[in-house]
Structure 1
Amino acid sequence: MQPFPIRTTVVGSYPFPGWLEFATQHLQQFGAADIEEMIEDAVITAIHDQVSSGLDVITDGEQTRFDFNLSFYGYINGIQANETETRRFGPAAHDQRGKHNIIDTLTAPNGLGVVKEFQRLQKLAPQGPVLKASVPGPFTLSGRLLPNATYKDRYAITEALLPIISKELEALVAAGCTEITVDEPSMSCYAYKEDTKRFTDIFNRTVAPIVGKCRLSTHLCFGNFKGRPVGYRSIKPMIPDFLDFNVNEVHIEMANREFAEIELLQVFAEKMDVAVGIVDVKNYYIETPEDVAKRIKQCLQYIPAEKLAVAPDCGLSQTARWASRQKLANMVKGAKMVRENL
């Protein structure tokens, strides 16, 4: 159970400052020391915004990740970009994200870079907030890799990635990380048509080495590519199998779905803490503290306060920074309003 009621947290990502967006398009003009300094400055910016909002749990804003999956592919041997598979024009859609061919055995001898991210966060963050790291799960991470003769389908690729991610999770715990989120939005997006028992088995084998060694959560949303959902948006197909995830907390997108199926959160709360997506990262309506408080009270009909956390629906990387700052600040104010009156 979480340390206190109605904890305020985030999923992981935070919008890049505008200058970092520009710099990522011109990296060839920078040296290695320039890039490291730039990354550190961006993390300081993300920390500042989160701490200023009053969050109980913060991340590094994933400022070193230029894409949710593709950034990790740079750490994995045996992968080659496949530009011909990418649609470059027309309305923004999930198929504009780059795909990769597998050309050799998938290995990551130097890890996935998350430990370095966490150590940078440790160095730069002030005392007070809990520091959280997030890592994509193997099924989600497999999503932009194309099967070949060796890895015949997405599940075979997932199995190859699973020990790589498990090792990264162990290294994070060894580095002193006490809170870790394993992001598996692909599992929640595909739960309506795939074997959810198989998903649960994959997830639990991935996290097995760190169960009981940190506060472990998973993030199950319905995708967010440039402010658009990606998958079938229903909690019902996740039940009952996802209730067997070996986690302390599950994060579920709710605000963008107008809190549809909120009653189903009760069954999750019987097994684990629940972090409810209480503000909508795909909408530029800025929820007021009163909006947030009203939504939290709605959640309290199904989730005990001591098991309820609140967060944005998803990572904030696709939301403008000005909106992200205000949404987080109002989320914290609304949570405090309810917490003080429990």
Structure 2
Amino acid sequence: MTNENKDQFRPPEHDSDHFLLTTVVGSYPKPKWLNRAKELYEDDDHGFDADDYQEAKDDASRLITNEHERAGLDVVVDGEMRRNEMVEFFAHRIDGYEFNGPVKVWGHNYFDKPSVVSEVEYDDSWLVDEYEFTADASDRPVKVPITGPYTLANWSFNEAYEDDDELTLELADLVNEEIEKLVDAGARYIQIDEPALATTPDDHAIVGEALERIVADLPEDVRIGLHVCYGDYSRIYPEILEFPVDEFDLELANGDYDQLDVFKDPEFTKDLALGVCDAHVAEVESVEQIEENIKKGLEVVPPEQLVVSPDCGVKLLPREVAYGKMANMVQAARNVEDDLDAGTIDIERGAPTPADD
């Protein structure tokens, strides 16, 4: 991993000495009219056809990409306007999966949990069209989030393989094939989403093995991030430092940074994509509050290893709140860069915070 891997995303007009890359994890609130378009498309009694629905998704992708640009993000995503749930979307595109109806997961919430009923196989590309559309719609670098093989296996019924480890590694080969196609199409920033790792942290070894397969033979200038949702990070650190990724995207704002010390000893040797906005709170944090959150990241890594993003996908927030968080986050990052340039930030890095007496 080199700083050039991150600096390739520095905007040409960025004249600060320091660069805190700003981006989002992935999902973003869908415009209400896109949800209505989906309802019309699924209504057999309505004349809203596949072409109409495709146009609606294109328009939404263009709109949200532009919204990310207006917020000032250095690296944009289309907000996953074409996706539904993070496992379901990919399961529909992988041979070997089938759906048998939703299952209850908690409370009154249901998840269309797929089953693996035969050997998984790669058929057609999953995300290349999505990436190419977003890249054409923006003059900024585009990040591609993709659900990782461990979560694709762990959040499905396994009816075809001896165990989930075997299924995970088979899926890792498919993810590698997809990423190679994305790289051929021009993608240079790929984020692997593994939320299941936070809920079953003892399986970090199989995730590492899967990642080795995923990144095999990729060019050095392709940036690979790993997003792991909130969990007990002490159960996977420092082992995750052995993972072959450039960046770890961690959800720490939601827990008020009570796990920050986990990453101070031993030294955090990768880039840290720090969640500085709480994706679960429908209030826009002030620029000043986000600045303080960013400085917490500087207790773990130097500025050249720090990336700034929300905690997680923000699709469940009101859209105006999501935009406000992004805009304030970018402004806060630029302010911290100015303070770093001026030498007015003095943070002792690596020392665990003393416990309260």
Amino acid corresponding to residue 23 of structure 1 in structure 2: A
Q: CA deviation at 1:269?
A: 6.1
Q: Larger Cα Rg: Structure 1 or Structure 2?
A: 2
Aligned-pair CA distance for 1:88: 8.4
1:204 to partner: Cα distance: 1.9
- Alignment CA distance shift 1:267-1:121 (3 Å): farther
Question: Which residue number corresponds to residue 203 of structure 1?
Answer: 211
Q: Cα 1:269–1:135, aligned 2, differ >3 Å: closer, same or farther?
A: farther
In the other structure, the counterpart of 2:62 is 44
After TM superposition, list the pairs within 5 Å mapping 1:285-296 onto structure 2.
285-296=283-294
Residue 72 of structure 1: aligned partner = 90
Distance 2:276 2:223 in 1: 21
1:237 and 2:255 correspond? no
Deviation of the 1:285 alpha carbon: 2.3
- Residue identity matched to 1:11: V
- Give the share of equivalent positions with the same residue, in percent: 29
Query: For residue 130 of structure 1, what is the amino acid of its counterpart?
Result: P
Check if 1:248 corresponds to 2:238: no
Corresponding position of 2:158? 147
Letter of the aligned partner of 1:287 in structure 2?
Answer: E
Structure 1 equivalent of residue 343 of structure 2: none
- 1:106–1:197 CA distance, 2 compared to 1 (3 A): closer
Q: Report the Cα offset of residue 316 of structure 1.
A: 1.5
| Alignment-derived partner of residue 137 in structure 1 | 148
Structure-2 separation of matches of 1:40 and 1:301: 41
Does residue 201 of structure 2 align to residue 187 of structure 1?
no
Number of residue pairs aligned between Structure 1 and Structure 2? 322
The one of 24, 36, 58 equivalent to 2:38 is 24
Provide the secondary structure at the position in 2 that maps to 1:296: helix
C-alpha contact 2:248 2:270 (8 A) present in aligned 1: yes
- Equivalent residues of 1:217, 1:247 under 8 A apart: yes
Q: How does 1:2-21 map to 2 (within 5 A)?
A: 2-3=6-7, 4-21=18-35
2:58, 2:94 → 1: CA distance? 23
Task: Say if 2:117 and 2:158, in contact at 8 Å, map to a contact too.
Answer: no
Aligned AA for 2:22?
T
Q: Is the 8 A contact 1:211 1:247 kept in 2?
A: no
The letter of the residue matching 1:8 is T
Corresponding position: 1:156 with 2:166: yes
Alignment partner of 1:105 out of 119, 144, 154: 119
Q: Deviations over 1:94-113 (max 9, x none)?
A: xx2112233332223113x2
Report the CA distance shift for 1:88/1:262 in structure 2 as closer, same or farther (over 3 A): closer
How far did 1:213 drift? 4.0
Question: Alpha carbons of 1:341 and 1:284: their partners in 2 closer, same or farther (altered >3 Å)?
Answer: same
Runs of 5+ in structure 1 lacking a partner? 223-232
Q: State the match for 2:185 in structure 1.
A: 175
Q: Which moved more, 1:3-12 or 1:261-270?
A: 261-270
> Aligned with 1:80: secondary structure?
strand
Moved more, 4-13 or 311-320: 4-13
Bigger mean CA offset, 28-37 vs 312-321: 28-37
Which SS does the other structure have where 2:272 is aligned?
strand
Partner amino acid for 2:325? K
Query: Structure 1 counterpart of 2:208, which letter?
Result: T
Distance apart, 1:320 and its partner CA:
1.9
Pair 1:117 & 2:134 matched? no
The amino acid of 1:330's aligned partner reads: N
- Matched residues in 2 for 1:267 and 1:5: separation? 25
What is the TM-score when the length of structure 2 is the normalising length?
Answer: 0.85
The structural deviation recorded for 1:336 is 1.1
